[in-house]
Structure 1
């Protein structure tokens, strides 16, 4: 017996990958930029450490809350769409059958075959067929608020831990270049890995993330340095 053919597609992991990559990226950029700005303002080491910890905790909670609210709104919309489709199926099943057949004709099937396919799918799972082919709602891409919130919070904390650890370990005289350099390296690696997981070019992904991270850090460090000079 020939082994069953299995295909592995990246689309199945898009939802959690998006949340994880955004979380880790934000953790490095926001916490690294925050620490660079405070360090450029000549803050004391204990102030830097407290700032980094507060930034990690606040950022992780903010990411979790924002992702949960956003994805839950999507889930609510999906539920409302499915409920409306359920009512339409109960009120006019024949019309919904013809609507599904028209969708398949639009995708290239002959009208007779499209009608047959629509009838068979409607007999098997009418709501599921309309959810997938009319509304674009599938199990793979359905909204999962709790999963997205946890992934965002955890990945943000992991990303934010990198600049925070550098702040603890790096000598004071080399703190700013160490923070900037290591953060950009980690951003480049993250961008490359995310691009590879999504099937895109690793170099382009790394360059894109690194550029915006460097810009954010440069602006924040500049504001911190200006503030430190003004206050001093």
Structure 2
């Protein structure tokens, strides 16, 4: 197998990876922090469980719906741009050819070569060439609402699992330390996995997710404790 055959870039993962990492991180941090906050307010274990499950269901649905609406808006914008470009190619093919050639000239090609490249690419797939090089729409980065929504909702549920399972499996007196420890451990794993999948430095990715998640959960737990004492 040649080097070219073995070379795999990660930009094609950007859409689903972003949604998956955001969903899992949000599920782990938000539900873990909520469980800590409610438990720190001296609520009963059953109240903590109800709050955790409610946050899981609401959060997963909210993440999926929000991601779907957001990415659908992006898809609508892309489709509108493609329709505009399609009409322009039908009405002004010569001008569109010159426009594409100028783009290649600005990227460093000589005028004759830029003209030739533009002509050949437009003969092969005019709309695809303009979508990619004029508008910036590619298959790897194009909007996929259902994929993004599914990845976001499912990953939120995956992120919720560690703190909820820890809450259910330990006595009420141990909920706070065990949920905190489990959540922080999985935050580190999530940060490392996201960095590895995206090709980023693992230590930096791990610390970034871990530190912000820790700050969120500690702050929520402290506020829950203060509210519980005040009540």
RMSD: 1.2
**Runs (5+) with no aligned partner, structure 1:** none
TM-fit CA distance, 1:3:
6.4
Q: State the match for 1:12 in structure 2.
A: 12
Query: TM-score, normalized by length of structure 2?
Result: 0.97
Counterpart CA distance in 1 for 2:85 and 2:48 is: 55
Q: State the match for 1:216 in structure 2.
A: 216
Q: State the match for 1:21 in structure 2.
A: 21
Counterpart CA distance in 2 for 1:79 and 1:4 is: 36
TM-fit CA distance, 1:14:
1.3
Q: Deviations over 1:34-83 (max 9, x none)?
A: 00000000111111111111111000000001000000000000000001
Counterpart CA distance in 2 for 1:170 and 1:10 is: 40
Tell me how many residue pairs correspond in the alignment.
230
Q: State the match for 1:199 in structure 2.
A: 199
Q: State the match for 2:77 in structure 1.
A: 77
Deviates more, 1:168-177 or 1:54-63: 168-177
Q: State the match for 2:50 in structure 1.
A: 50
User: Alignment partner of 2:135: what SS?
Assistant: coil
Q: State the match for 1:225 in structure 2.
A: 225
TM-fit CA distance, 1:186:
0.3
User: Alignment partner of 2:108: what SS?
Assistant: coil
TM-fit CA distance, 1:174:
2.0
TM-fit CA distance, 1:121:
0.7
Residues 1-232 of structure 1 aligned to structure 2 (within 5 Å): 5-6=4-5, 7-231=7-231
Query: TM-score, normalized by length of structure 1?
Result: 0.96
TM-fit CA distance, 1:96:
0.5
User: Alignment partner of 1:134: what SS?
Assistant: helix
Deviates more, 1:141-150 or 1:86-95: 86-95
Counterpart CA distance in 2 for 1:108 and 1:177 is: 60
Counterpart CA distance in 2 for 1:169 and 1:207 is: 28
User: Alignment partner of 1:104: what SS?
Assistant: helix
Counterpart CA distance in 2 for 1:93 and 1:120 is: 13
Counterpart CA distance in 1 for 2:48 and 2:183 is: 16
TM-fit CA distance, 1:29:
0.2
